[in-house]
A and B are shown apart, each in its own frame.
Chain A
Amino acid sequence: MTHLSDDELVLMFYREGDGLQEAEAHTESCASCRERLEQLTSALREVDSAPIPDRGESYGSEVWARLQPRLEAERQPPGWWPAIAAAMTWPRLAMGGAVAVLLVAAFIAGRTSVAPPPQAASPRAEAAADASRERVLLAAVGSHLDRSRVMLTEIAHRNGGGVADVSIEQATASDLVADNRLYRQAAVRNGDAAVAEVLEDLERLLVEIASSPSQASHDDLARWRDQIQTSGLLFKVTVMGSRVRERQQDAASRAATKAST
């Protein structure tokens, strides 16, 4: 009779391995292997007796409470200012990328400042940095909405029975699509359905115009006009742009007041 090896006994203890049934059958009939299995079980039972500090049901929430501030710091884009500064000379994607991340707090969520950078700084320096970032963001978003409004207005006022050259509007629309997508995604992430909906409608039209032939047909123009005016897209974009401009002026006034005191 071949007895079970120590390793086979370990596999049997943990109920693993291909030969589990055979090993169990052997142990049933072999007193020696049964004794060895009992010794193994006793030794490993001692390991189980070692106490472990209790962590209650609320432990996960406690871990989250400690972790959240560190994750907030992780979310800050590293070196955000160089990214925005670079965006000034490379307007479309870089600007959109940096702005979309920070948009969360400053524009779409409707707050007046963004979260502080992870580095320790004095409250006054942090406030100044927040205000500066807010002004950059508002300027970028305001500019995006202004350009969108102008382009929509031009399309809405195109008349004529035949084809129309929309190559200028087409180039503008192409330029606006990527930024608009980033702003919309930020709105979705932050649960701002109303803003996301307006930006989605705007994006749909921008994509359609950008991908259309430069000579738009009468039907195309009529359909775009319908979307812009009848569905109120131009109105919504105008209102949103006005709100951003107002907040931009508020931010500038606050900065001027602080500078004079």
Chain B
Amino acid sequence: MEASDLAVVALVKAGDHDAFRHLVERHSRSVFRLAYRLTGHEQDAEDVVQETFLRAFREIRRFEARSSFATWLYRIAVNCSHDLLRQRPRAGSRPSLDDPDLRVAAELADLSATADPLRGLASRRIDERVRTAMRGLSDQERSAFVMRHFEGLSIEEIGRVLDLKTSAAKHSVFRAVHKLRQALEPVAELSR
């Protein structure tokens, strides 16, 4: 049976820094998923994972167990993602599927390997539409939506992560869903 997060945090606070390994091993995948959904880039998500755990290690003495360790970690990951997204335009564009040339190349590569090229093309177009719709959300809306929709956090927990009142967190989710519906309902109509 694994020690609880709080027990491991207590060990780290007491100076057993190697115990931090348990927290990293336990939460890396969920932090990666969250970071990927927020940044839309695999390498950016990896950077966020590293930076999140580094910041968590530095700040762990401030963790007071008012929320779960996972919620506290999500908060750091969300801040790291927002920091990275703010820096990205200044840092220069990273090669990604946002690049039209790379996108076409990726499409051609995928289609050549697909048994049903038309279906593959449709699927890729939907992915692209989802990406565009997600990019159309504000950082706060995207964070709130990702945590509610993909990570299953309650609206109250989302408020704690984003440092918002519950009503503000709820409205962030509402706005995000409203925008996504507008962007995706035409696609959904075709799929039905």
Contact = CB atoms under 8 A, between A and B. Distances in A.
Interface in A1-42: 6-7, 10-11, 14, 16, 39-40, 42
29 contacts: A6-B174, A11-B170, A14-B149, A14-B173, A39-B181, A39-B185, A43-B184, A43-B185, A44-B181, A44-B184, A46-B130, A47-B180, A50-B131, A50-B134, A51-B127, A53-B42, A53-B45, A55-B29, A60-B29, A63-B25, A63-B49, A64-B21, A64-B24, A64-B28, A67-B53, A67-B54, A68-B21, A70-B50, A74-B54
A185 B13 CA distance: 13
Given A39-B185, A59-B29, A49 B57 contact: no
A218 interface: no
B36 interface: yes
Nearest to A5: B174
A172 to B, nearest CB: 28
Contacts of B126: 46, 49
B25 A60 contact: yes
B85 to A, nearest CB: 18
B70 interface: no
B179 to A, nearest CB: 11
Contact of A16 (B129, B154, B178): B154
Contact of A71 (B57, B127, B149, B178): B57
B100 interface: no
Interface in B118-176: 123, 126-127, 129-131, 133-134, 148-149, 154-155, 170, 173-174
Contacts of B27: 60
A52 interface: yes
Interface residues of A, number: 34
A60 B148 contact: no
B113 to A, nearest CB: 15
Interface of B: 14-17, 20-21, 24-29, 32-33, 36-37, 42, 45, 49-50, 53-54, 57-58, 123, 126-127, 129-131, 133-134, 148-149, 154-155, 170, 173-174, 177-178, 180-181, 184-185, 187-189, 191-192
The 3 closest A-B pairs by CB, nearest first: A60-B25, A42-B188, A60-B28
A44 B180 contact: yes
A124 interface: no
Contacts of A40: 177, 181
Contacts of B131: 50
Given A75-B17, A189-B15, A42 B191 contact: yes
Contacts of A157: none
B25 A64 contact: yes
A185 B14 CA distance: 9
Interface of A: 6-7, 10-11, 14, 16, 39-40, 42-47, 49-53, 55, 59-61, 63-64, 66-68, 70-71, 74-75, 185, 189
Contact of B50 (A7, A14, A50, A66): A66
Nearest to A10: B177
B42 A10 contact: no
A59 B49 CA distance: 11
Given A49-B126, A64-B21, A55 B28 contact: yes
B62 to A, nearest CB: 15
A39 B27 CA distance: 34
A51 B24 CA distance: 24
Contacts of A47: 130, 133-134, 149, 180, 184
Given A47-B130, A50-B130, A74-B54, A59 B184 contact: no
Contacts of A16: 154-155
Contacts of A46: 126, 129-130, 184, 187-188, 191
